[in-house]
Amino acid sequence: MSPPSPPAPHQAEESHRTKGLLRLTMACNERCPFCNVPAEDYPRPTPSEEEQNIELDDFIASGERTLTISGGEPTLLRRRLLSVIRRARGAGVPFVELQTNAVLIDEGYAAALAEAGLTSAFVSLLSHEPAHHDALAGLKGAFARCLRGIDALLGVGVRVALNPVTARRTQTLLPDYLRFVAARLPGVRSVSLSAVQPHGRARQHLSELLPDYDVLRDVVPEAQRVAAAAGIELLNPYCGLPLCVGWAADMARSVEAIEAEGGGWRPLPGIENRDDKTQGPPCQACALRTRCGGAWRAVWTERGGAGLHPPLRRVAPWEPGAEAAPGQQIFRAPGRPTPAQLSAARASVQPTVWLVVGALTEDDVPLLMSSGCTDLCLCLQTAALEAAGPAIAQTLRGLHRLLRLGVSAPDHGRLLVHMRLEGQGGPATSQLAAWATARGAATVHRAP
């Protein structure tokens, strides 16, 4: 049977898109010490062919355009893998990607994969130095066999992207890795710069595996320069790095930032970090927090957030230089937020969008929550506050509702509330300042 015709170039797969994942078997021929889905966690590693066909049919019915086949190591099931690829392509799925360590792929099998309709392979070439690759793969001789597999796939026209899974022992070698790829594997056009995710087997070896973010912050920009000079697309995937670890100046290649910008940070999913990652105290002052899922929880709990510092500081509207600060835009209204101000906020492409208002009502809250506003600054005159008239009571009800709703939003999507209290003030002002801080206001600024 001839392979299904390839998709037209303009339909090229967007490599940052979320993909359907079919794990063919959880069994594996390697023993990567960092594996996030280790074979020993799966007492029944291989589903029956029948179960798998149901999963595949569901995927085909979903209309998704890229099927990713992974594992474990899918090439262990040589015939089943070919049949799944053939079935998916035959049913009209335009892109089928294979995640593999490639050591079992020789020229003959690469030809069979291409004939079945495989469009791309995502290969775990873990280092350009054989000793590092073999140690990280947990298999002696894996490096040479992996290279042979990559050559074979490229030889039959399958697109290959590489995944180095940066670990502590390879963290300073990334620029050399890219130089090696450019020289030895010129057919490879894409490298996904992932770094050890502290899950699965990796949890048992965290201190020796988890890279040092202070080191990577300097190494990644050099890797980006080498990749750009060689025409290699370097991506920061979900299993990659927080923006402040080398990616702040290249957000267009950071999957979380792309998704957050494309989906908006609310109400669409935006950054989907499945609760694996979280932001920490430094992120509160970061102008890019709405484009970043933060760091793995273990980076905060076991490394104290080392290496994470806002690459762009959010500047409050009352601070000097706020209007021109990069990464943010400020819209001001003397009273309640206006429709024009809300739609300007929605149209803004900046990661931080301030609305500065002098009043609020409860009715404004849903409008604010669905606008593109990321930081609301409520400026109150303390004289009015002390007088406690009906307008101020209404504003405080709005503020109460806003703070209550904000707490339940995910970090990167939270509308931060800031207060500026202008004037000397008295007991009502101090009480409000304490109350707002306790209820989660990000800043309470007194300006006597």
Binding residue for ligand SAM (CB under 6 A) from 31, 36, 65, 230?
36
Beta-bridged to residue 352, according to DSSP, are 328
Q: How far is CA 35 from CA 18, 31, 44, 217, 233, in A?
A: 21, 8, 18, 24, 25
Return the one option of ligand SF4, ligand SAM, none that residue 286 interacts with (CB less than 5 to 8 A, by type): ligand SF4
State how far the Cα of 85 lies from the Cα of 99, in Å rounded to an integer.
13
Q: How many residues bind ligand SF4 (CB under 6 A)?
A: 15
Contacted entry of ligand SF4, ligand SAM, none for residue 341, CB cut-off 5 to 8 Å set by kind: none
**3 state DSSP class of 198:** coil
Question: Residue 85 or 288: which CB sits closer to ligand SF4?
Answer: 288
Q: How many CB atoms lie within 10 A of CB 108?
A: 9
Q: Which two tokens stand for residue 311?
A: 């690459």
- Residue 246 contact among ligand SF4, ligand SAM, none, beta carbon within 5 to 8 Å by kind: none
396 binds ligand SF4 (CB under 6 A): no
Q: Is 94 in the site for ligand SF4 (CB under 6 A)?
A: no
For ligand SF4, the closer of residues 191 and 286 by Cβ is: 286
Residue 213's binding partner among ligand SF4, ligand SAM, none (Cβ under 5 to 8 angstroms by kind) is none
Shortest distance in whole angstroms from residue 218 CB to ligand SAM = 21
CB closer to ligand SAM, 179 vs 199: 199
CB nearer to ligand SAM: pick between 68 and 329 = 68
Binding partner at 244 among ligand SAM, ligand SF4, none, C-beta below 5 to 8 Å by kind: ligand SF4
Minimal CA–CA distance to 101: which of 165, 158, 155?
165
Letters for 134-173 (x = contact with ligand SF4 by CB under 6 A, - = none) are ----------------------------------------
- By beta-carbon distance, which residue lies closest to ligand SAM? 197
Give residue 29's Cα distance to chain centre: 29
Task: State which residue, 98 or 385, has the beta carbon closest to ligand SAM.
Answer: 98
Residue 348 touches which member of ligand SF4, ligand SAM, none, C-beta under 5-8 Å by kind: none
CA atoms of 64 and 48, how far apart (whole Å): 23
Question: How far does CA 221 lie from the centroid of its chain?
Answer: 18
Which residue is associated with the tokens 């290699």?
232
Q: Whole-angstrom distance between the N-terminal and C-terminal Cα of the chain?
A: 81
HSE value, Cβ hemisphere, 13 Å, CA-based, for 340:
4
Q: Give which of 11, 17, 71, 16 is closest to 41, Cα–Cα.
A: 71
Q: Is 278 in the site for ligand SF4 (CB under 6 A)?
A: no
Q: At what angle do helices 78-90 and 49-62 cross, to 10 degrees?
A: 30
Q: How many Å apart are CA 297 and CA 129, to the nearest integer?
A: 30
Is the peptide bond preceding residue 240 cis, with omega within 30 degrees of 0? no
The CB-of-51 to ligand SAM minimum distance in angstroms stands at 19
Q: Contact at 8 Å (CB) between 294 and 277?
A: yes
Please select the residue that binds ligand SAM; options are 25, 68, 99, 348, rule is CB under 6 A: 99
Dihedral, CA of residue 80, residue 86, residue 90 and residue 91, to nearest 10? 40
Which residues between 306 and 365 bind ligand SF4 (CB under 6 A)? 308, 310-311
Binds ligand SF4 (CB under 6 A): choice among 193, 202, 244, 360: 244
- Alpha carbon distance 52, 47 (integer Å): 6
CA–CA gap between residue 55 and residue 48 (Å, rounded): 11
What is the token pair recorded at 358? 């002098």
Under rule CB under 6 A, residue 294 binds ligand SF4: yes
Instruction: Examine residue 113 and tell whether it contacts ligand SAM (CB under 6 A).
Output: no
E strand or H helix that includes residue 141: none
Residue 226 near ligand SAM by CB under 6 A: no
Shorter beta-carbon distance to ligand SAM: residue 35 or 283:
35
Amino acid of residue 403: L
Identity of the residue, 19 or 289, whose beta carbon is nearer to ligand SF4 in the bound complex: 289
Instruction: Indicate whether 73 belongs to the interface with ligand SAM (CB under 6 A).
Output: yes
Q: Which does 288 bind (CB under 5 to 8 A by kind): ligand SAM, ligand SF4, none?
A: ligand SF4
Catalog residues that contact ligand SF4 under the rule CB under 6 A.
Answer: 242-244, 279, 282-283, 286, 288-289, 292, 294-295, 308, 310-311
Catalog residues that contact ligand SAM under the rule CB under 6 A.
Answer: 28, 34-37, 70-71, 73, 99-101, 122, 124, 163, 165, 194, 196-197, 199, 202, 239
